[in-house]
A and B are shown apart, each in its own frame.
Chain A
Amino acid sequence: MASVGEPLVKIRDLHYSRDKNHIFKGVDVDIARGGVTAVMGPSGTGKTTLLKLIGGQLYPDSGTIHIDGQDVHKMKTSDLYRLRMRMGMLFQSGALLTDISVFENVAYPLREHTPLPESMIRKLVLLKLEAVGLRGARDLMPSELSGGMARRVALARAIALDPGMIMYDEPFTGQDPISMGVLVKLIRSLNDASRLTSIVVSHDVQETAGIADYIYLISDGKVVDQGVPEKMMDSRSEWSRQFMKGLPDGPAAFHYRAPELEQDLMG
């Protein structure tokens, strides 16, 4: 067991490639206990992949990921599953089971992992759904939900077992301004009230910077900058400033690699 001062998640020299794409080329990240750590970066930098590596769903080419002092990729499957019971993950798509209702989706981890009686499960599910504002939607099927609602149900499911760590994959995408505000507050208050450790992967700069204690910026397979949000806004790195302020001009290109437009059009 690692000591309390140690980071909960320690990623060292992580390399990962898919097909011939080098997604990570030596990433070092520390996730502090009890804090909200944001991992940000342009689309396609492998933020979701990073969460899957932390959750032990993908194997790195080299490098290590330690959670609470244990190497995730050297654990026995049964230990890994036990570790996952203390982890919640909010998938970008929600990843709700489509053949059962909202209520049953949130109840699923409780039914799987606890011997709680039905009456207790009902109360817990309703409380979790209340937290995300969807208690009234309990009888709907996932196909009847909008993308934003599905993600809120998924959040209720992720916190059903009161995990010690939650990973949020793009929690703000597709939310209307009201639910966005509630979600931002919810992530922060969940973190503080239950002494959780949260990892938020996002490219919504304002919302994320508003609740994060520490930010990592990842681009082109590497951590390009890191620091507390205030520092990042006025970072010395031109790249970080461009990303954090959403400026069109700067070292980071908006266009995917391509030949000159004129040359392309003229064939």
Chain B
Amino acid sequence: MLDPLARLGRAGIDTLEQIGRGHLLLLGILSGFADLARRPRLLIAQLYAVGVLSLLIVAVSGTFVGMVLSLQGYYILSQFGAEQTLGVMVAASLVRELGPVVAALLFAGRAGSALTAEIGLMAATEQLSGLEMMAVNPVKRILAPRFLAGFISMPLLAAIFSALGVVGGYFVGVGLLGVDDGAFWSQMQAKIDLQGDVRNGVIKSLVFGFVCTWIALFQGYYAVPTAEGVSRATTRTVVHSSLAVLGLDFILTALMFGD
């Protein structure tokens, strides 16, 4: 009779414990930023691993998403004779939503999972313990540069995603479907708002970068140090990050665009 109740209680305590650990880890990471100023090479190496290496998948996906958006948008808009606004539709969808969200999902799959696996394996092979015993704080030296790299890379990747999406949309809309070239760009220029659309998209991607990298590092750092443990942690990174991105996107969108 008491068993299910006890299990529920244990699950609650475990969850709270995890949240607490996650926040303590975050504090440790943030306190490592001061060190990074003295060792910029650590950050540069991670910007490459986390950001540059995610570039290809983000660029290709962005282009295709823009192309599909253009196809679908043209089909709907042309029913109302509004195909000249295709540029606005493509750009607004990308900058407000798809850029930050899809880039974050790709980031979680490409860079987040790699971070978790790397940190988890470092823990499993005692490399993190080894650093601690060499009086080097692994949270500051290993985790902090990766976190900052993720936070910086995410908005840049989202921007590249959106920009290439617009280019892809242009090729399909103007090149294949015959939308007027001038209308495509001028409507976009007139209707896309730097404050309302672009800035809010950037805020979203900063939040997603923060959350995705935090989840990835947390899962790696506290992974059970076995092959199975690391593999589960990697899966959790992708699942938790994706859900967090989609959930936060709804909240942020409601706050930003819902009057």
| Segment among B59-67, B92-100, B123-131, B173-181 that sits at the interface with chain A | B123-131
Is B193 interfacial (CB 8 A cutoff)?
no
Nearest chain B CB to A257's CB is how many angstroms away? 23
Counting residue pairs across A and B whose Cβ atoms lie within 8 Å, the total is 49
Is B17 interfacial (CB 8 A cutoff)?
no
Nearest chain A CB to B138's CB is how many angstroms away? 11
Is A57 interfacial (CB 8 A cutoff)?
yes
Is A93 interfacial (CB 8 A cutoff)?
yes
Size range of the chain B interface in the assembly: 10 to 19
Tell me whether B137 and A95 are in contact (CB under 8 A): no
Interface residues of B in 126-152 (CB under 8 A from A): 126-127, 129-137
Tell me whether B135 and A113 are in contact (CB under 8 A): yes
Is A82 interfacial (CB 8 A cutoff)?
yes
Is A63 interfacial (CB 8 A cutoff)?
no
Nearest chain A CB to B210's CB is how many angstroms away? 25
Query: Which residue in chain B gives the minimum CB-CB distance to A112?
Result: B136
Tell me whether A109 and B134 are in contact (CB under 8 A): yes
Nearest chain B CB to A28's CB is how many angstroms away? 24
Contacts of A91 in B (CB 8 A): 126, 129-130, 133
In-complex Cβ contact of A112 among B122, B130, B134 (8 A): B134
For the complex, what is the distance from the CA of A85 to the CA of B136, rounded to whole Å? Answer: 9
Tell me whether B135 and A95 are in contact (CB under 8 A): no
Is A55 interfacial (CB 8 A cutoff)?
yes
Tell me whether B125 and A87 are in contact (CB under 8 A): no
Contacts of B130 in A (CB 8 A): 89, 91, 95-97, 154
* Given contact pairs A57-B133, A108-B136, A112-B136, a sample of 16 additional A-B residue pairs in the complex whose CB atoms are under 8 Å apart: A55-B132, A57-B129, A57-B132, A84-B132, A84-B133, A84-B134, A85-B135, A91-B129, A91-B130, A95-B125, A95-B127, A97-B130, A108-B134, A109-B135, A112-B134, A113-B135
